[in-house]
């Protein structure tokens, strides 16, 4: 084999030599095979660049090379990672946090391959016997409910949206744009002679209402003069139904679909009551339950039921089923039911569900790669989850996980700590070895493993209350709650306990001025960058204009001063038909973005191209006299993004970085209510300190901050904690505790309190 630096410590290891992807500084690293390795480090240090963009990308690329060119055309493409050598790779399976999405036919049962086992169970042990396994599927014509075609819901005209009862036909009582006053569809009703076009609909008799909206009898004249024809009459709602609801959605334009959605509501199918199956299938029972009832049970309950079953003839099937459902429970997902639509699952839930399939796989010698698999998981559930990772390892696989969670780090066989800082201050392996040695290492991660959460001793006094009344979303049962305004309040509880239902469903819906700072992409436009998004580019351009006595517009990427080859981007994007495109530095301007004439204009020695290459931290020292630029840069540095370059496209930001740059853009507000959902996702303990400092600043500036979080460091730092539970799903939805974290320590019956007691011990 090729050149090899250093001596291998592990007889059998995936060996990376000279990795330089993104910020990696020619990293050499070994991932021992058949072990459980955690890669950790502050955010932006280069963990993803090493794990996903180097190791996993190379494994997938090499695997793809084994396919024919024709087959490769259908596969995602992976560029060759920037590294000298990557040896002893295994085929990689990347289990990521991309949401499962999927249409209404995709459920937890179908996606986890548990549904086929359940159908098999019914075909073997169901009474009376109705048929083979496929008949128990709502996706099969033999099994589906004929009324809703197996969807469980039916869509109907929302009459209160469709018509304005206070208006007459001439005043535009029919709200759908196709029935607007003056259109021929409108004429059908207004000129039919069947109705008084000036009478408000509220004054119609029941018979007239029925005639206008639903009737399908008689004929009406359409058009004027010689072109007039007689057409059969159809009530307005019936017509809308036929044209917009009963049509195949795939045939409708996006706009038609959007408009249709405004005038329709969906409700549980009256024939099957949402069970999606026909009567014959629903009549077949095992242990008194039909298949829809079993699919609607929480996984936890179903698991207990399967334990009780004694089914001669279906024993092995029931055993497999019990094993898989048990995996869901062990994964902290026991509150979900098999009939839950995948589109409603969070990223963390999606990742854990993808893992269920692999747990029963008999492949060995694989490389499993996970991206923060404990996202959204309560401390109580982390141990059981780690046991599953170990199970995967013990089957003879290599498990490689990017994680910050202390309990996961301390369970690893091997740790790779990347750092010490982010961006150009990171990209090195600062520690590698066994966990025991990490606990004494002088790295941010070493400190984190040693440190205990600090309980806030001096909670802030509330400045008023924010009310939640009668909340009934999902598993909440008429909840009333007063949240303290002007404080940092954390809503905690095990997964599925109702945190999102309370905060997003009940609170945000009732306080429409609340600012939700989430992790969704800031922009998908390649032209948006740190400087444009935060509003500092304008004052920077003005500073250049003043210093050089020229127009500020010269320094705009839209101006004639921009490099004509890359239009001021500094890079060229090459889109390839079937393959993922790639980015290269613009040859014409060498990445400087502007023409030589523009670049000749200097501000304290730097060109506009130089400035856009600066990191926020460097720029803060450069823009000492430009007050506005200074303030914005200060906010970016305060949220821990000092390593972002001013010209860095926002499309390269991670979810956590997106959330923090949104925060940075909000830091100047006062009297606002901020809502953050799991802001510690993707954050290392030392990043969490930075985040908490930002949240404190917001609260001290007269704002209210409401955070959904399971991270104990954040919970301990709150002024006020609302803990939901005690469990997920139907056994959750109750407020177990409200008060400051020091009191939470003494609360009984709360998993959060128990975890906090363990952590500060």
Which residues are near Zn ion by CB under 5 A? 145, 147-148, 269, 271-272, 563, 565-566, 586, 588-589
- Cβ closer to Zn ion: 337 or 487? 337
Q: Is 70 helix (H, G, I), strand (E, B) or coil?
A: helix
What whole-number distance in Å separates Cα of residue 73 and Cα of residue 89? 24
Shorter beta-carbon distance to Zn ion: residue 145 or 382 = 145
Binding mask 23-42 for ligand ADP (x = CB under 6 A): x-----------------x-
Verify binding: residue 495, ligand ADP, rule CB under 6 A: yes
**Residue 652 contact partner, candidates ligand ADP, Zn ion, none, CB within 5 to 8 A by sort of partner:** ligand ADP
Query: Residue 588's binding partner, choosing from Zn ion, ligand ADP, none, with beta-carbon cut-off 5 to 8 A by kind?
Result: Zn ion
**What is the maximum span of the chain, computed from C-alpha positions, in angstroms?**
95
Per-residue x/- track, 722-751, ligand ADP (CB under 6 A): ------xx----------------------
Strands (E), 193-295: 219-222, 229-232, 264-268
What are the b/e assignments for 491-516, b being 16+ CB within 10 Å?
bbbbbbbbbbbbbbbbbbeebeebbe
Q: Which of 660, 625, 667, 623 is nearest to 644 (CA)?
A: 660
Size of the site for ligand ADP (CB under 6 A): 30
- Distance, in Å, from the CA atom of 525 to the CA atom of 500, rounded to the nearest integer, reads 29
Nearer to ligand ADP, 235 or 729 (CB): 729
Burial of 373 (0-12, 13-18, 19+ CB in 10 A): buried
* Cβ contacts of 755-758, under 8 Å, gap ≥ 24: 755/378, 755/379, 755/380, 755/712, 756/453, 756/712, 756/715, 756/716, 758/379
* Nearest distance, CB of residue 148 and Zn ion, angstroms: 3
Q: Which is nearer to ligand ADP, 204 or 643 (CB)?
A: 643
Least Å from the CB of residue 114 to Zn ion: 22
Instruction: Compute the least distance from the CB of residue 553 to ligand ADP, in Å.
Output: 29
Burial 337-350 (b: 16+ CB within 10 A, else e): bbbbbbeebbbbbb
Handedness of CA 322, 327, 333, 337 (dihedral sign): negative
Among residues 474, 601, 660, 717, the one that binds ligand ADP under rule CB under 6 A:
474
Answer for the pair 704, 487: CB distance below 8 angstroms, yes or no.
Answer: yes
Among 81, 235, 326, 493, binds ligand ADP (CB under 6 A): 493
Binding window for ligand ADP (CB under 6 A); candidates: 316-324, 490-498, 574-582, 687-695: 490-498
Candidates 344, 674, 670, 668; CA nearest to 508 is 674
With CB cut-offs between 5 and 8 Å by kind, which of ligand ADP, Zn ion, none does residue 496 bind? ligand ADP
Is 570 among the residues that bind ligand ADP (CB under 6 A)? no
Dist. CA 755–CA 587, nearest whole Å: 56
Say which entry of ligand ADP, Zn ion, none residue 534 contacts (CB below 5 to 8 A, set by partner kind).
Answer: none
CB of 635 to ligand ADP, least distance (A): 18
Residue 566 beta carbon to Zn ion: minimum distance, rounded to whole angstroms: 3
- Least distance from ligand ADP to the Cβ atom of residue 601, Å: 27
Which one of ligand ADP, Zn ion, none is in contact with 747 (Cβ closer than 5 to 8 A by kind)?
Answer: none
Classify the phi-psi angles of 266: left when phi > 0, otherwise alpha if psi is within -120 to 50, otherwise beta. beta
272 interface partner picked from ligand ADP, Zn ion, none, CB below 5 to 8 A per type = Zn ion
565 interface partner picked from Zn ion, ligand ADP, none, CB below 5 to 8 A per type:
Zn ion
**Residues 466 and 696: beta-carbon distance below 8 Å:** no
Omega of the bond leading into 726 within 30 degrees of 0 (cis): yes
Contact flag: residue 584 with ligand ADP (CB under 6 A)? no
| Phi, psi angles (nearest 5°) of residue 120 | -60, -40
DSSP 419-462: ESSSGGG--EEEEEE-HHHHTT-SSHHHHHHHPPPPPPSSPPPP
Is residue 615 a contact point for ligand ADP (CB under 6 A)?
Answer: no
Identify what 404 binds: Zn ion, ligand ADP, none; CB under 5 to 8 Å per kind: none
Give the residue with the Cβ less far from Zn ion, 145 or 676: 145
Residue 212 vs residues 61, 80, 501, 645: alpha-carbon distances, Å: 63, 65, 40, 62
Min CB(69)–ligand ADP separation in Å: 26
Cβ nearer to Zn ion, comparing 337 with 398: 337
Give the nearer residue to Zn ion in terms of CB position, either 181 or 271: 271
278 binds, among Zn ion, ligand ADP, none (CB under 5 to 8 A by kind): none
Nearer Cβ to ligand ADP (5/477): 477
520 CB-near residues (< 8 Å, 6+ apart):
655, 658
Shortest approach of Zn ion to residue 595 CB, angstroms? Answer: 9
DSSP 641-658: -TTSBTT-BGGG--HHHH
For Zn ion, the closer of residues 271 and 359 by Cβ is 271
Nearest to 494 by CA among 748, 706, 752: 752
- Structural contact between residues 490 and 709, judged by C-beta atoms closer than 8 angstroms: yes
The minimum distance between CB 333 and ligand ADP, in angstroms, equals: 9
Give the per-residue contact string, 497-516, with ligand ADP (x = CB under 6 A; - = no). Answer: xxxxx---------------
CA 28, CA 17: separation in Å to the nearest integer? 4
344 is a site residue for ligand ADP (CB under 6 A): yes
Q: Which of Zn ion, ligand ADP, none lies near 589, with the C-beta cut-off 5 to 8 A by kind?
A: Zn ion
Q: How far is the CB of 46 from ligand ADP (least distance, A)?
A: 4
Q: Which does 89 bind (CB under 5 to 8 A by kind): ligand ADP, Zn ion, none?
A: none
Q: Which is nearer to Zn ion, 506 or 563 (CB)?
A: 563
128 token code pair: 């009376």
Binding mask 415-444 toward ligand ADP (x if CB under 6 A, else -) reads -------xx---------------------
CB closer to Zn ion, 514 vs 563 = 563
The entry of ligand ADP, Zn ion, none near residue 145 (CB within 5 to 8 angstroms by kind) is Zn ion
Q: Give CA–CA dist 241/224, Å, rounded.
A: 27
Distance from C-alpha of 675 to C-alpha of 507, rounded to nearest angstrom: 9
DSSP code for 386: H
**Minimum Å distance from CB 596 to Zn ion?**
11
Q: Which range in 239-247, 359-367, 488-496, 696-704 contacts ligand ADP by CB under 6 A?
A: 488-496
> Distances in Å between the alpha carbon of 564 and those of 355, 556, 572, 719?
48, 13, 11, 54
Helix locations, 502-591, DSSP H: 509-510, 530-534, 537-548
The closest of 518, 544, 520, 519 to 531, measured between CA atoms, is: 544
- Residue 48, interface with ligand ADP (CB under 6 A)? yes
Nearest distance, CB of residue 340 and ligand ADP, angstroms: 6
Dist CA 589 CA 95 (whole Å)? 40
Asked if 643 interacts with ligand ADP (CB under 6 A), we say: yes
Selection from ligand ADP, Zn ion, none that 335 binds (CB < 5 to 8 A by kind) is ligand ADP
Q: Which of 278, 271, 283, 360 lies closest to 122 in space, CA to CA?
A: 283
Binding site for ligand ADP (CB under 6 A): 22-23, 41, 43-49, 335-336, 344, 422-423, 474-475, 493, 495-501, 643, 652, 654, 728-729
């Amino acid at each position: 084999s090729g050149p090899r630096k250093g001596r291998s410590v592990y007889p059998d290891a995936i060996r990376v030599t000279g990795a330089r992807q993104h910020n990696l500084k020619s990293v050499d690293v070994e991932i021992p095979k058949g072990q459980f390795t955690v890669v950790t480090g502050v955010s932006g240090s280069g963990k993803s660049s090493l794990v996903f963009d180097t190791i996993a990308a190379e494994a997938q690329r090499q695997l793809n090379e084994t396919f024919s060119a024709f087959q490769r055309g259908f596969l995602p493409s992976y560029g060759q990672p920037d590294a000298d050598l990557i040896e002893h790779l295994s085929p990689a399976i990347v289990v990521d946090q991309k949401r499962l999405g999927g249409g209404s036919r995709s459920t937890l049962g179908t996606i986890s391959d548990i549904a086929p086992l359940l159908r098999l169970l019914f075909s073997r042990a169901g009474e009376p016997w109705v048929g083979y396994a496929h008949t128990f599927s709502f996706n099969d014509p033999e099994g589906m409910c004929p009324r809703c075609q197996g969807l469980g819901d039916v869509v109907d005209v929302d009459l209160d949206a469709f018509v304005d009862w206070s208006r007459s036909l001439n005043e535009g009582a029919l709200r759908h744009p196709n029935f607007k006053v003056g259109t021929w569809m409108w004429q059908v009703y207004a000129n039919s002679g069947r109705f008084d076009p000036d009478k408000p609909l509220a004054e119609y008799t029941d018979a007239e209402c029925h005639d206008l909206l639903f009737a399908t009898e008689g004929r009406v004249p359409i058009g004027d003069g010689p072109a007039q024809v007689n057409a059969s009459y159809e009530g307005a709602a019936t017509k809308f139904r036929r044209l917009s609801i009963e049509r195949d959605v795939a045939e409708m334009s996006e706009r038609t679909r959007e408009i249709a959605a405004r005038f329709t509501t969906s409700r549980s199918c009256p024939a099957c009551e949402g069970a999606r199956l026909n009567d014959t299938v629903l009549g077949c029972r095992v242990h008194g339950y039909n298949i829809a009832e079993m699919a609607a049970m929480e996984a936890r309950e179903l698991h207990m039921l399967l334990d009780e079953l004694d089914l001669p003839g279906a024993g092995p099937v029931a055993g497999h089923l019990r094993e898989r459902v048990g995996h869901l429970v062990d994964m902290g997902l026991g509150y979900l039911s098999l009939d839950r639509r995948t589109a409603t699952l969070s990223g963390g839930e999606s990742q854990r569900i993808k893992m269920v399939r692999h747990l029963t796989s008999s492949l060995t010698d694989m490389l499993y790669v996970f991206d923060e698999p404990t996202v959204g998981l309560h401390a109580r559930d982390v141990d059981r989850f780690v046991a599953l990772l170990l199970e995967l390892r013990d089957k003879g696989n290599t498990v490689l996980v990017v994680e910050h969670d202390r309990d996961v780090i301390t369970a690893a066989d091997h740790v790779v700590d990347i750092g010490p800082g982010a961006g150009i201050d990171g990209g090195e392996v600062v520690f590698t070895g066994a966990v025991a040695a990490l606990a004494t290492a002088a790295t941010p991660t070493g400190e984190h493993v040693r440190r205990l959460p600090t309980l806030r001793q001096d909670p802030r006094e509330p400045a008023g209350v924010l009310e939640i009344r009668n909340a009934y979303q999902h598993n909440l049962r008429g909840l009333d709650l007063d949240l303290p305004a002007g404080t940092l309040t954390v809503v905690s509880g095990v997964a599925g306990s109702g945190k999102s239902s309370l905060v997003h469903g009940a609170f945000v819906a009732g306080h429409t001025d609340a600012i939700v700072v989430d992790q969704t992409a800031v922009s998908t436009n390649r032209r948006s960058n740190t400087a444009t998004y935060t509003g500092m580019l304008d004052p920077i351009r003005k500073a250049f204009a003043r210093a050089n006595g020229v127009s500020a517009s010269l320094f705009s990427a839209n101006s004639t001063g921009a490099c004509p080859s890359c239009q001021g981007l500094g890079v060229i994007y090459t889109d390839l038909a079937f393959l993922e495109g790639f980015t290269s530095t613009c040859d014409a301007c060498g990445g400087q973005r502007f023409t030589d004439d523009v670049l000749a204009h200097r501000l304290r020695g730097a060109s506009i191209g130089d400035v856009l290459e600066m990191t926020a931290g460097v720029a803060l020292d450069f823009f000492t006299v430009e007050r506005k630029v200074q303030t914005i840069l200060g906010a970016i540095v305060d949220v821990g993004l000092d390593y972002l370059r001013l010209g860095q496209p926002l499309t390269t930001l991670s979810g956590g970085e997106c959330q923090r740059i949104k925060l940075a853009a909000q830091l100047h507000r006062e009297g606002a209510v901020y809502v953050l959902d799991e802001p510690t996702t993707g954050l290392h303990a030392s990043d969490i300190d930075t985040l908490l400092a930002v949240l404190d600043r917001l609260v001290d500036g007269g704002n209210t901050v409401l955070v959904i979080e399971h991270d104990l460091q954040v919970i301990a730092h709150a002024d006020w904690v609302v803990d939901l539970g005690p469990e997920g799903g139907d056994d959750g939805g109750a407020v177990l505790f409200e008060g400051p974290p020091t009191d939470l320590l003494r609360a009984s019956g709360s998993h959060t309190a128990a975890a906090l007691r363990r952590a500060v011990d």
